[in-house]
Amino acid sequence: MATEMLAYIDRKSFIHELSGATKLIIFIMWSSIAMLTYDTRILLFLFIFSIVIFKISKIKIREIGFVLLFILAFLLLNNIAIYIFSPQEGVKIYGTSHVLFEIAGRYNLTLEQFFYQTNITLKYFAVIPAALLFVVTTHPSEFAASLNKIGVNYKIAYSVSLALRYIPDIQRDFRTIAQAQQARGIDLSSKEKLFKRVKNATSIVLPLILSSLDRIDTISNAMELRAFGKKKKRTWYSERGFKQKDYVTIVIGAIILVVSLIITFYDGSRFYNPFM
């Protein structure tokens, strides 16, 4: 029952060959556009463009299928929730109301609401491929180096790489502890009453935390002994130097960023309004 998690997928592709820092920068730009804009045209462009990039990366859909399913389910629920809470949000935003078909009073489906919710969904679709790609095409060892390169303090960057290094170990500890406690009669299944389950959960969380605190001591001793933090700066064994393609990519990314922001705020509103 090893639960799946996204991890680096090794391929020979243009995306893989880019430096981690480049990908990080692009990812940040990409996310910020998608967060700021609400302009349907741009969102559509981002979405289609990221599909193309996805193709280039030679990553197969089924390799990340499990997260896609999760995300789709999430979006569905989210849309329903939005509709229940505020079925006329679209009308509020776009200022017109074209009723598509009657349901009941304020729950009448309007074109505006439909358009608005499509945009929300699109907003997710515009970033998700980029995020996924970033995770599966950047080697964890390179990640810390990249963070450092874009200006994050190297100590903090290193703590990220420590996290990536020890997630599998902690997960293994967690399983072992859970098993040991179950053997002693602690029931983790949903059969128990809520309060009982909380109590039981702590009997697993506590050993996990205490053993992790021990881990922190050993690791910091080991790092101390190997002169971590000796100098102001630090080099990285698995850093990947910038090549021409990196510069090109970043420039393109920057252009997209600027242009889309201009288009977005050109008319003073982040919403693209087809209704007037």
Partner 1 sequence: MKKPVIHFENFTFKYDSQKEPTIHDINLTIYEGEKVLIVGPSGSGKSTLGHCLNGLIPFSFKGDIKGSLTVKRQETKDLNIFSLSKMVGTVLQDPDGQFIGLTVGEDIAFALENDATTKEVMHEKVIDISKLVKMEEYLDASVHALSGGQRQRVALGGVLVEQVDILLFDEPLANLDPATGRHAISLIDELQQALNCTVVIIEHRLEDVLDQDVDRIIVMDKGRIVSDTTPNELLASDILEKSFIREPLYITALKYANCELTPTKELEHIEKLKVDTYKAPLQHWYEYATFEKHIQDRSPVLEVKDVTFSYGDKVPTLKNISFTIQKGEMISIVGKNGAGKSTLSKLICGFERDHRGNVVFEGKDITNDTIRERAEKIGMVMQNPNHMISKHMIFDEVALGLVMRGYPEKEIKKRVEKTLQICGLYPYRNWPISALSFGQRKRVTIASILVLNPEVIILDEPTAGQDFYHYTQIMEFLVELNKQGITIIMVTHDMHLMLEYTPRSIVLADGELLADDASVNVLSDEELVEAANLKQTSLFELARRADIDEPTEFVARFISFDKEVRKIGNRNVSVH
Partner 2 sequence: MEKGLSIKTIVAIGIGSAVFVILGRFVSIPTGIPNTSIETAYAFLALMSVVFGPIAGLLIGLIGHALKDAVFYGSIWWSWVIVSAFVGLFIGFFANRINIQSGVFASKQILIFNIAQAVVQAIGWFLIAPALDVLIYAEPANKVFVQGVIAGISNIITVGVIGTILLVSYAKTRNKSDSLSVE
Ligand X SMILES: Nc1ncnc2c1ncn2[C@@H]1O[C@H](COP(=O)(O)OP(=O)(O)OP(=O)(O)O)[C@@H](O)[C@H]1O
Q: Which residues of the shown chain bind partner 1 in the complex (CB under 8 A)?
A: 1-2, 140-141, 161-162, 164-165, 168-169, 173, 176-177, 179-187, 203-204, 206-207, 210-211, 214-215, 218-231, 233-239, 241
Among residue numbers 102 through 161, which ones bind partner 2 (CB under 8 A)? Answer: 120, 123-124, 127-128, 131-132, 135, 153, 155-156, 158-161
- Between CA 59 and CA 89 the distance in angstroms is 37
3-state class of 25 per DSSP?
Answer: helix
Q: Give the residues lining the site for ligand X (CB under 6 A).
A: 172, 175
**Residue 85 contact among partner 1, ligand X, partner 2, none, beta carbon within 5 to 8 Å by kind:** partner 2
- Between CA 270 and CA 153 the distance in angstroms is 34
Among 197, 242, 273, 275, binds partner 2 (CB under 8 A): 197
- Between CA 32 and CA 262 the distance in angstroms is 14
CB-wise, 61 or 225, nearer to partner 1? 225
- Between CA 43 and CA 130 the distance in angstroms is 13
Q: Report the interhelical angle of 154-183 vs 140-149 (nearest 10°).
A: 140
How many other CB atoms are there within 10 angstroms of residue 259's CB atom?
13
CB-wise, 153 or 245, nearer to partner 2? 153
CB-wise, 69 or 180, nearer to ligand X? 180
Residue nearest to ligand X (CB): 172
- Between CA 150 and CA 19 the distance in angstroms is 12
What residues have CB less than 8 Å from 61, skipping those under 6 apart? 68
CB of 18 to ligand X, least distance (A): 31
CB-wise, 11 or 215, nearer to partner 1? 215
CB-wise, 190 or 218, nearer to ligand X? 218
